[in-house]
Amino acid sequence: MKVDEWLLFFKQHPQKKLFCLSDLTQLIDEPKKSLSVQLTRLVHAKVLLRAAQGWYANPFHQPSAEEIAMVLRIPCYLSLEYALSRQGILSQAPYTMTLVTTRPPYTFHRKDKRYEYHQIHKSLFWGYEQEQGINIATAEKALLDLLYIRGIRSKQVPTQGFRSLFDDMDLEFLNKNRFKDYANKFRKGTERLAVDLGIIPK
């Protein structure tokens, strides 16, 4: 395909903000190898932007950072500090986009954004909603993921560190009953930490 044909193709697919090679092989009747070569040339000519390894951004309908995050590790959902900030619980706006996945941990840098994927067991991969194609944890699940991943599993943040972090949080927006129900599904250590921090009454 010529450059003008590619541009017309992208214009005609506004619903597809991100393409991978397998998407294109289903939409364009050309060999996979030929498409791969053409994509590389389009990127070098700055006609097309490579959003991430194996993914290309539609030049007429650019994906958001969150939309890119959804395809870097499938399945995944926004959680921890980023989701808490987005949900209005955490007052700080984190530089890092934090996500949870069932796949191996992964960190990716793109422009001014850092993507941080934390692996979690399939039994804990729940408690999120979809908003316009973006998977995001509920405030209660995002906080529990934070306690579990940063506090219990990796011990990155001591109890006192969480207390300092909570100074920047408005926990009044939490659904305490939902939080308690969710906490019961985690290991006892996570629930105990929530009690120690005063989120769940003793």
**Do 54 and 118 lie in a common domain?**
no
**Do 72 and 169 lie in a common domain?**
yes
Q: Is residue 201 part of a domain?
A: no
* Tally of domains in the chain: 2
**Do 23 and 55 lie in a common domain?**
yes
pTM of this structure: 0.90
**Do 136 and 45 lie in a common domain?**
no
**Do 23 and 79 lie in a common domain?**
no
**Do 23 and 97 lie in a common domain?**
no
Reduced to 3 states, what is the DSSP secondary structure of residue 52? strand
The pairing of beta strand 96-101 with beta strand 113-119: parallel
Distance CA 5, CA 61 (A): 16
Task: Name the CA dihedral angle for 75, 52, 22, 31, rounded to a multiple of 10 degrees.
Answer: -170
Domain endpoint, select from 21, 44, 63: 63
Q: Is residue 82 part of a domain?
A: yes
Span 6-32, pLDDT tens digits: 999 999 999 999 999 999 999 999 999
Q: Which domain holds residue 133?
A: 67-196
Span 27-63, pLDDT tens digits: 999 999 999 999 999 999 999 999 988 999 999 999 9
**Do 107 and 160 lie in a common domain?**
yes
Q: Is residue 202 part of a domain?
A: no
**Do 108 and 178 lie in a common domain?**
yes
Task: For the beta carbon of residue 95, count every other beta carbon within 10 angstroms.
Answer: 10
Span 118-166, pLDDT tens digits: 999 999 999 999 999 999 999 999 999 999 999 888 777 777 788 888 8
Q: Is residue 137 part of a domain?
A: yes
**Do 77 and 145 lie in a common domain?**
yes
Nearest alpha carbon to residue 123 among 148, 159, 140, 86: 148
